[in-house]
Amino acid sequence: MPDRNNTTAALQVVNLRKRFGQLEVIKGLSLTANQGDVISILGSSGSGKSTLLRCLNFLEPPNEGEIWIGGRQIQARAGATGQREINALRINLGMVFQTFNLWLHKTVLENIVEAPIHVLGLNKAEAHLRAEELLLKVGLADKRHAYPSQLSGGQQQRIAIARALAMEPEILLFDEPTSALDPELVGEVLKVIRALADESRTMLIVTHELNFARQVSNRIVFLHEGQIEEEGPPDAFFTNPSSPRVRQFLSSQR
């Protein structure tokens, strides 16, 4: 039974369930991320990885279960109070998507300052200062006035990461951040994520990059049909998994 008084946990998910019609996709899943944890979430296509991340920030409302952020339960109900809870939740959970989801008609800088100004209420000067620092961090200061269409996929994803960081979230969620990229662009994005891990940021990373997951994570979680099939430290997970499903998955990826 998860410790519900674990106020030190950055994120606690208790018995989460999500259905689409008759299809139950997340089947009573519990997971705790402590401050500074980098958890890679692995699993076959359709195992529920994206749905899990989307439930965490209520892009998909869960059907059952509890979500705790920093010891506080998210009470997302219908109506204005619920929406305020969800907005506060989304500030705390930065999400980076497979397909970047940048605003195409806005420049790089405009993409990054939009939410800090309109959601956090930063003034323009503060927001721009923060954006410039983040552009340096992801190595794209020279692209501040470019539009997304003028950037490579790897550059767009680094901007999407900067945009997520601009909200100063407690936790970062990555959903296959390199899956849409040409192979030669994967490394530059992984490098940025690795630097965030080195800063001890709390992160959940859905990925198929197994070597990366092994190097960057302190825990691996393997999903199968909406449940955790196996979890553990990377070395044990990759060298000596107990689940036959995990063994099969790992050998199919080599």
Selection from ligand ADP, Mg ion, none that 5 binds (CB < 5 to 8 A by kind) is: none
Q: Which stretch binds Mg ion (CB under 5 A): 41-49, 66-74, 225-233, 236-244?
A: 41-49
Identity of the residue, 43 or 116, whose beta carbon is nearer to ligand ADP in the bound complex: 43
The residue within the footprint of Mg ion, chosen from 50, 92, 111, 155 (CB under 5 A), is 50
- CB 201, min distance to ligand ADP, A: 22
Residue from 167, 162, 211, 221 nearest 186 by CA: 211
The 3 state secondary structure assigned to 12-70 is EEEEEEEEECCEEEEEEEEEEEECCCEEEEECCCCCCHHHHHHHHCCCCCCCEEEEEEC
Give me the sign of the Cα torsion angle 160, 195, 10, 119: negative
Contact flag: residue 46 with ligand ADP (CB under 6 A): yes
Contact flag: residue 62 with ligand ADP (CB under 6 A): no
- CB 20, min distance to ligand ADP, A: 3
Q: What does the alpha-carbon distance between residue 114 and residue 103 come to, in Å, rounded to a whole number?
A: 10
The residue within the footprint of ligand ADP, chosen from 14, 25, 210, 220 (CB under 6 A), is 25
Residues lying near Mg ion in the complex (CB under 5 A): 49-50
